Amino acid sequence: MKKIIVIFSIALFFNSCVGTDKFVLRTSLGKVNKVMVVTKASDWTGDLGTAIRNSFGELVVGLPQPEPMLSVSQIGPNAFGGMMNISRNILIIGEGEKEDFYIKKNVYAQPQTVIYVYGTDDASIIKVFNEYKKEIISAYISSDILMTQNIFKAKQLELSQFKTLQEIGVSFTIPKEYKTVDDTGEFLWLRQHLKSGIAKTGSNNILVYAIPLEEELEVSENIIAVRNRIGKKHIPGSDPETMYMITEEAYTPHTSETFLDGKKAFETRGKWEVKNDFMAGPFINYSVVDKARNRIVVFEGFTYAPSVNKRAFIFELEAIAKSMKIQ
């Protein structure tokens, strides 16, 4: 515990020097949705480690392969230094005189989220972690969303070229790798060809459109019917008469209420497939209630990436969706 306190004290001193000519925080390292846990090996192999792995290991809804919300690795307090403390997402576990929980940004590097969980013994630490686990997971995911959006800002598309976005009056931070498939003024379809690994034959796709708001209480109930109608009209297979995108019938999508651009919205995660064909994959759909213009603005992202994990692809689409601004 003393070693953790020393490390934290050094970090505070180092962080206090940011903005001067003497010290500049290093750039953090690490993949999105990855957390490094700083705790003793005996704790990691015991009940505490099990609690962390079970919570972070909850599966992402709607993916064909089982993938956890957050991947985790463990390092002992003695090894937490040098290049190890510039990981982007860090969870520091320790024993103290009282139970405590707090979040700090950019302690050793930037961007960085460091979360501290303390208890008086193992049972106390587990209690504190379980009490705040939803907030902990949300903090790491939100941080990675923002980091991803900032990366996209540095190479974003010029949105004035898209008729549909101009007509609907909506904007997103979309990286320039996306190319136009269809842009009617009422419906936009963008596609990014994936270039790495087996997924180089696949793609990430973005759909944007708006529909009239008829009954707000029925918005969530109608999401699947709407996306099936749009799929039949705009997303054809190799034979447009008999093949088109639908929601996979064998998997029930999950819809939850959220907010985008300060407006009530519904997030739906599920699986798509092409009717009468073998193409399929995950999708994420945001239906935003825009009362001011009596409409629903829809962003949907879907991935086609055979034989590879898809969490990272869907996460990028989520980051783009959450950059939405409605005029």
**DSSP symbols for 98-116:** S-EEEEEESSSEES-EEEE
Q: Can you tell me the distance from the alpha carbon of 233 to that of 281, in angstroms, rounded to the nearest whole number?
A: 19
The band of 11, judged by pLDDT with boundaries at 50, 70 and 90, is: very low
Q: In the block, which residue shows the tokens 């004035």?
A: 160
Residue ending a domain, choose from 127, 153, 179: 153
The total of other beta-carbon atoms located within 10 Å of residue 105's CB is 12
User: Is pLDDT at 285 greater than 60 in this prediction?
Assistant: yes
pLDDT score, position 199: 59
Sorted by sequence, the CB contacts under 8 Å of residue 182 that are 6+ apart come out as 188, 189, 234
Residues 34 and 106 in one domain: yes
Residues 30 and 139 in one domain: yes
Residues 171 and 283 in one domain: yes
pLDDT tens readout for residues 106-117:
999 999 999 999
Sorted by sequence, the CB contacts under 8 Å of residue 286 that are 6+ apart come out as 258, 260, 265, 266, 267, 268, 298, 299, 300, 321, 324
Residue ending a domain, choose from 153, 184, 217: 153
Task: Report the CATH number that the domain containing residue 27 is assigned in CATH.
Answer: 3.30.379
pLDDT tens readout for residues 17-36:
444 444 588 999 999 999 99
For the residues 217-241, what does the mean pLDDT come to? Answer: 94
Whole-number mean pLDDT of the chain?
Answer: 91
pLDDT above 70 covers what percent of the chain?
A: 91
The band of 264, judged by pLDDT with boundaries at 50, 70 and 90, is: very high
Sorted by sequence, the CB contacts under 8 Å of residue 225 that are 6+ apart come out as none
Specify the 3-state DSSP secondary structure of 17. Answer: coil
pLDDT tens readout for residues 158-196:
999 999 999 999 999 999 999 999 999 999 999 999 976
Residues 132 and 246 in one domain: no
Residues 226 and 319 in one domain: yes
Structurally, the chain folds into a number of domains equal to 2
User: Is pLDDT at 200 greater than 90 in this prediction?
Assistant: no
For the residues 199-212, what does the mean pLDDT come to? Answer: 90
pLDDT score, position 101: 97
Residues 207 and 88 in one domain: no
Residues 322 and 183 in one domain: yes
The amino acid that residue 236 corresponds to is: P
Residue ending a domain, choose from 153, 186, 204: 153
Residues 42 and 173 in one domain: no
pLDDT score, position 198: 59
Residues 123 and 177 in one domain: no
| Cα dihedral 71, 75, 149, 283 in deg (nearest 10) | 0
Residues 194 and 297 in one domain: yes
Q: How far is CA 182 from CA 11, 91, 100, 175, 241, in A?
A: 50, 44, 52, 17, 18
pLDDT tens readout for residues 80-89:
988 889 999 9
Who has greater pLDDT, 232 or 201?
232
Task: Report the CATH number that the domain containing residue 302 is assigned in CATH.
Answer: 3.40.1000.10
| Residue 80, φ and ψ in degrees, nearest 5 | -85, 90
What predicted TM-score, i.e. pTM, was given to this entire model?
0.89
The band of 54, judged by pLDDT with boundaries at 50, 70 and 90, is: very high
Residues 282 and 173 in one domain: yes
> What is the span of the domain harbouring residue 221?
159-326
Residues 197 and 142 in one domain: no
